[in-house]
Amino acid sequence: MIAIIDYGVGNLASVNKALSFIGFESVITSDYSEILAADKIVLPGVGAFADAMESLEKFNMIPVINEATAEGTPLLGICLGMQLLFDYSTEGGEKVKGLGLLKGGVTQFPLDMGLKVPHMGWNSLDIKKNDGIFKGIKENSYVYFVHSYCLSAQEASDVAATCSYGIKFDAAVSRDNIMGTQFHPEKSGDVGLNILRNFASL
């Protein structure tokens, strides 16, 4: 069973539907014991970083995420959910503390690039790791992004894929049982479904 954490934000139904489509059972839940009993956990997220952290605290999800990941349960953060795995974000003009499961920070795309922000639509990946969630995924595969803030991981070894949109940014991460994608695999066609299938099959 895959637990999709419900903390009041995120497009939960689309992830649930995508997992069901590829043959994996998942449940949308904010129940502490149900999350801890899950084989794998998905942390989705849309909206503002500070609001999401506040919601995680309100739903008492921070202790359960810490406990589950410490026990080795695979965790996949999606979009804002990936950003939350890191130390901080400067969204809103102030440095807001994240979960700190991985080292690094999230900052806004430079607004002087002459490109539209948010970065929205299909873009290709420069894959750094060909195992785990990227097993069998071809270099330069296209995936779907919607974000105004981008990640810079502190440890290069945590970066599973990068992407270029005016600047190069970290588009996916992987360290042991903690993984994340800035893009939306559930909206990224066959490539995204294969990434979800790889995660669900770990």
pLDDT digits (tens, 9 = 90+) for 4-32: 999 988 778 999 999 999 999 999 999 99
Domain regions of the chain by residue span: 2-200
Give catalytic status of residue 184 as yes or no.
yes
Check residue 92 and give its pLDDT. 79
Distance between CA atoms of 158 and 16, rounded to whole angstroms?
Answer: 26
pLDDT band at 46 (very low <50, low <70, confident <90, very high): confident
Give catalytic status of residue 54 as yes or no.
no
- CA 83 centroid distance within chain: 7
Kindly give the interhelix angle for 189-200 and 12-21, rounded to the nearest 10 degrees. Answer: 80
**Stated pTM of the model:** 0.96
CATH T-level assignment (fold) for domain 2-200: Rossmann fold (3.40.50)
What are the residues facing 139 on neighbouring strands?
none
Check residue 112 and give its pLDDT. 85
Helices (H), the chain: 12-21, 32-37, 49-58, 61-70, 80-83, 189-200
pLDDT digits (tens, 9 = 90+) for 123-154: 999 999 999 999 999 999 999 999 999 999 99
Given the residues 91, 147, 163, 186, select the one marked as catalytic. 186
pLDDT digits (tens, 9 = 90+) for 76-119: 999 999 999 999 999 878 899 999 999 999 999 988 888 899 99
For residues 157-181, give the mean pLDDT. 97
Given the residues 79, 91, 150, 163, select the one marked as catalytic. 79
Tell me the backbone φ, ψ of residue 87, rounded to 5 degrees.
-65, -40
